[in-house]
A and B are shown apart, each in its own frame.
Chain A
Amino acid sequence: MCSRGSKIRKGRESGFTLLEALAGLVLVAVAAGAIADAIVGILKRSYVTIEVTRVSDESERFAAAFTQAGKSATSWAVYSDRAAYLADPVGNVSVQGNALVFQDQLPTGTKIIEMFEYDPVAQTLSRYENSLSQPRSLLNKVVPTKDRTTVFGQDLGLVQAHWTVQSPYELMDFEAYGNPLRMR
């Protein structure tokens, strides 16, 4: 009796059986899968938030540059596009368009040209300073805001821009206003 009892006891204390270990592994795998799914979801949403914030900040900086240019400009004009501006900067001035040119003058007399341009084909909104070939800043996936056909416009002397960024995660509307010349 004593010998048989000790054998049984020893057998019970020899660890898990294969079935128990497999059941444990399945449970752990299910739990790990659920946790991993939750973590991946959280990471994805964090990435989306970071991307949306980055795109939003870019447009905010663009709007700030627009307002700042409007504050210091000695003159500005809206054109239908870049070609219209280059062809005749005086005669082709428009009420609405996809090119906006601010002109500023330093105390030394040096003129500074700052152009904001929307390209409807490439769907880009860019800002140029002096050189019209190299943009200082560029926004991608931009379209005019709903119910508008162009990005820039003027209304009784108030120069303004309305654009929408179509990011893969969120649609973002932006507006910017420039200081009218008569308020200087």
Chain B
Amino acid sequence: MNLKSSLGRKMLAPVFPRSRQLGGFALLDPLVGILVFASVMAGAINLWRLAEYKCACARIDARVAQILRENADYVTYVAYDLLPADGTQPRSGFLLHPLDRDTGRYKDIYPFTVTAAVTTTGAGTPAEAKQIILTLSYNTAPDPQAADSPLQTIRTNVLERVKD
């Protein structure tokens, strides 16, 4: 009897933990799961947003390079007498024109100006030449609110033209 009762106790002993296993998750389990899931999603979305921001920056950079290339071509090929004067703005406008879905019109964002800095050497002589540096300035926000200026400035190398 003693042996039987002790075996019976041993057999019954695992029953209590089993009933705990069948009792479902504790409150802490799903909370930890949700916390981990939320952390992963927050990280993934922030990473995605960063990638998106970098894409937008790359788009602006490409547009800036395009405008400078166009203006450099113009300065390189235009007749000498039609070269822009010092301090003038050969071109201005907006970098991007995204479609506004609400109005169905293209918006104008990020205003820019191209300014020519022209240095003339040997003026009035047969060796007269001009060194031209184009500077593109643009704002990444049309109405800057931040204390730091969002104004960006890009300059070309010196473009030299000789009067033939």
Contact = CB atoms under 8 A, between A and B. Distances in A.
Partners in one complex: yes
Interface of A: 10, 12-16, 24, 31, 35, 38-39, 42, 45-46, 49, 52-53, 56, 60, 63, 67, 155-158, 160, 168-180, 183
B163 interface: no
Contacts of A176: 70, 73
B106 to A, nearest CB: 4
Contacts of B79: 156-158, 180
Given A24-B30, A46-B52, A60-B66, A39 B77 contact: no
A170 B73 CA distance: 24
Contacts of B78: 156, 158, 177
Name A's interface SS.
mixed
Contact of B99 (A13, A155, A158, A170): A170
A183 to B, nearest CB: 7
Contacts of A179: 77
Interface string B55-69: 110010011001000
Nearest to B26: A13
B59 A171 contact: no
Given A42-B45, A158-B74, 13 more contacts: A10-B23, A12-B23, A13-B20, A16-B25, A35-B41, A39-B48, A46-B51, A49-B56, A158-B77, A158-B82, A170-B99, A176-B70, A180-B79
B23 A14 contact: yes
B101 to A, nearest CB: 10
Contacts of A63: 70
A15 B29 CA distance: 12
A14 B73 contact: no
18 contacts: A12-B23, A13-B20, A24-B30, A39-B45, A42-B45, A42-B49, A46-B55, A53-B59, A53-B62, A156-B78, A158-B74, A158-B78, A169-B98, A171-B99, A175-B74, A177-B73, A177-B78, A180-B77
> What 7 pairs across the A-B complex have the smallest Cβ distances?
A15-B24, A13-B23, A171-B97, A171-B106, A177-B73, A175-B70, A49-B55
A22 to B, nearest CB: 14
Contacts of B19: 10, 13
Nearest to B70: A175
B82 A156 contact: yes
Nearest to A180: B77
Interface of B: 19-20, 22-25, 30, 38, 41, 45, 48-49, 51-52, 55-56, 59, 62-63, 66, 70, 73-74, 76-79, 82, 93, 96-99, 106
A60 B69 CA distance: 10
Contacts of A172: 97
